[in-house]
A and B are shown apart, each in its own frame.
Chain A
Amino acid sequence: MSLGRFLLRRFIMLVVSLLVASFVIFGAVYLAPGNPVSALTGGRSVSAEALQVLTERYHLNDPFIVQYGRWLGNALQGDLGISITNRADVSTLIATRIPTTAGLVLYASLLVLAVGVGMGVLGGLRRGAVDMTTVIVSAVSAAIPAFVAAIVLILVFAVDLGWFPAYGNGSGFLDSIWHLTLPAIALAISALAIVARVTRAAIREEVGKEHVQTAVSRGIPRRQIIRKHVMRNAAIPITTVSGVTIASLIAVAAVVEIAFSLNGLGSYLVQSAQSKDLAVVQGISLLLVTAFVVVNTLVDLLYATLDPRIALGSRAL
């Protein structure tokens, strides 16, 4: 398979994934108990005229597939419908909340990459106490769910020490970063542990390989061996696991946003699910799934650039 065909294949998969996902998101509402009107009104009883208006506005008498096509077409143009509870444009409501979630996930991703990979490299290259510490720290923090990390961080750093705010978004750039620090740590903690463990294992494996031993015996400087022989090969599994765990942060962000009362996409999604504001649920789900799938595709492409065998040959198992 040539690189061009690989890219094409990956692109087609991306489009098909998004189509199927959007179909599931839209179709789920039709599986809901009751008729679509009661789903649209959140179960509230409405007058006959309102029913007529709703049926016409949402084209509820059209066949399902036509409705889906219209919804998807509008969504692609940025029109996600009207929120039942806020009586406002879903796209506008969502847009104001994107920066918080994007900032949170980005901040957490930086932590995962810097601390997770850093810890893994340290543990992989050094032996003894340093290695033991990284192994124990990563084993424990891998098992800490984001919401548990959140309440412990709030307890220690917000309530007891008073270093960081316990909730809210903050205003202005620096204040926002200040407010996002504890949430980002809570979101990153189990992901960075996973990245640290895979990084350590990958480096250990490369260090033990014959070509590295040969380089050592030929007297090539240690720095150069680590950079050119160890890191370069270890980068392949490290990239994959970092990318996949970072993509998974997109969904978990909802939990952290609720824990810290952040006004982001995830917390809005959860509130809308509770109030059955389905247009908002569909809109945010579509956005988050798209982000998730796009990040995963980018990881695959990066993986293929790091390891040309992937694009050329069959997929590695």
Chain B
Amino acid sequence: MSATAAAVPATVERARRRTLLGSIGVVGWICLAVIVLVFVIALIGPYIAPYDPTQSDLSLSYVGPDGGHVLGYDAQGRDVLSRLLVGARSSMSGPLAVVLLSMFAGTLLAVTAAWRRGLTDAGISAGLDIAFAFPGILLAILAAAVFGASLVAATLAIAIAYTPYVARVLRGAALKERSLLYVSALEVQGASALSICGRHLVPNMLPLIVAQATIMFGWAMVDLAAVSYLGLGVQPPDPNWGVMISENQAGILQGYPLPALTASLCIVVVVVAFNVLGERLYEAAQHQ
């Protein structure tokens, strides 16, 4: 009997996961495949890069593709493909950190506000309204000016700027979940707030949290690449897609756009994949 009791929630959980992934469609699966591929490249990039991404030879500046160099050389005569492969890591790890940090802080604030309601909710909501005053890029520039330009400073600044957006979306969902009957039932049974939120409320919001995180990743990718493009994030000569665009922008005026365009394409493909998948997941979460 206890076996059946344990089996029922497990089945429900599995069914829920199946509907979430089952409803993203072929396009969603393609996006997921692209995302997984790019994450794998971010992990193994340095090992599969054919050349040293920082070894430059100015006599090869803006030389086109030849035998061993599939995408040619950049402004400083470095192998473009190697820089793209190695640069995937800093281009992906920044947005990942932003998403993890802002989702954690946002969920915590949203659930706290929804659980306590009343004054706590009013206080958190007012705080979020005020925090909206700082656009992510502006906060990142301010952080770079004060703490010096680095990926860490930019990542933290953008994570802080995203937190109110996450919290506002999730607060609505948490309030709705909080008002459901099972929560009061658990409260009556004497379950602690922490256990109800941790074991039931947040897991039940998971489809929305995952969808929100996916959409956020695309935004974070754009903002962090922009900050690195401005010279206030990842510092040259470290390879990064945003840095590569600014390093090779002169090539566009000189009629050799390949290095800047390939880096741009990497960013756009990843952002499209996250946006489309995020929307599919969001729709799936709404239907549940």
Interface, chain A (partner B; CB < 8 A): 13, 16-18, 20-21, 24-25, 28-29, 31-33, 39, 139-140, 142-148, 151-152, 154-155, 159, 166, 190, 248, 250-252, 254-255, 258-259, 269-270, 272-274, 276, 278, 281, 285, 288-289, 292-293, 296, 317
Taking a contact as CB atoms closer than 8 A, the residue among B133, B148, B264 that contacts A289 in the complex is: B133
Interface positions, chain B 139-197, Cβ under 8 Å from A, are 141-149, 172
Given contacts A33-B147, A270-B232, A273-B144, contact A147 B245 (CB under 8 A): yes
A285 interface neighbour in B132, B138, B229, Cβ under 8 Å: B138
Determine whether the beta carbon of A18 is less than 8 Å from that of B146.
no
Contact B142 A145 (CB under 8 A): no
Q: Are A146 and B145 in contact (CB under 8 A)?
A: no
* Closest beta carbon of chain A to B64's beta carbon, Å: 16
A-B pairs with lowest CB-CB distance, top 3: A251-B135, A273-B145, A148-B264
A83 to chain B, nearest CB (A): 13
**A247 to B, closest residue via Cβ:** B135
B50 interface contact, C-beta 8 A = no
Bound-complex Cα distance A292 to B132 (A): 9
The 11 sampled A-B contact pairs (Cβ below 8 Å) are: A13-B129, A25-B142, A140-B272, A143-B275, A147-B229, A148-B264, A278-B145, A281-B145, A285-B138, A289-B133, A292-B133
Check B137 against A251 for contact (C-beta < 8 Å).
yes
List CB contacts (< 8 Å) of B251-288 with chain A.
252-253, 255, 257, 260-261, 264, 267-268, 271-272, 275-276
CA distance A147 to B7 in the complex (A): 52
Bound complex: CA A140 to CA B275 (Å): 10
B204-219 with Cβ < 8 A to chain A: 218
A interface: dominant SS: helix
Expressed in whole angstroms, the minimum distance between the Cβ of B117 and any Cβ of chain A is 14
Q: How many residues of B contact A (CB 8 A)?
A: 45
A259 in contact with B249 (CB, 8 Å): yes
Q: What are the interface flags for B223-236 relative to A under an 8 Å C-beta threshold, 1 for contact and 0 otherwise?
A: 00110011110000
Judge whether B3 is part of the interface by a CB distance below 8 angstroms. Answer: no
Assess whether B130 is in contact with A155, with CB atoms less than 8 Å apart.
no
Please, which residue of chain B has its CB at the minimum distance from the CB of A30?
B146
Contacts of B245 in A (CB 8 A): 147-148, 151
B226 touches A252 (CB 8 A): yes
Q: Does B134 contact A (CB under 8 A)?
A: yes
A28 to B140, CA, bound (A): 12
Please report B residues at the A interface, Cβ cutoff 8 Å: 126, 129-130, 132-138, 141-149, 172, 218, 222, 225-226, 229-232, 242, 245-246, 249, 252-253, 255, 257, 260-261, 264, 267-268, 271-272, 275-276
Chain A residues near B136 (CB-CB < 8 A): 251
Contact, CB under 8 Å: A281 / B231: no
Docked-complex contact B230 and A255, CB < 8 angstroms:
yes
Within 8 Å CB of A292, what residues of B? 133, 135, 138
| Assembled-state Cα–Cα distance A21/B135 (Å) | 11
Which of B142, B143, B249 gathers most chain A CB within 10 Å? B142
Identify B132's interface contact among A29, A144, A288, A296, CB under 8 A. Answer: A296
CB of A250 within 8 A of CB of B257, answer no
Query: Does B130 lie within 8 Å of A147, measured CB to CB?
Result: no
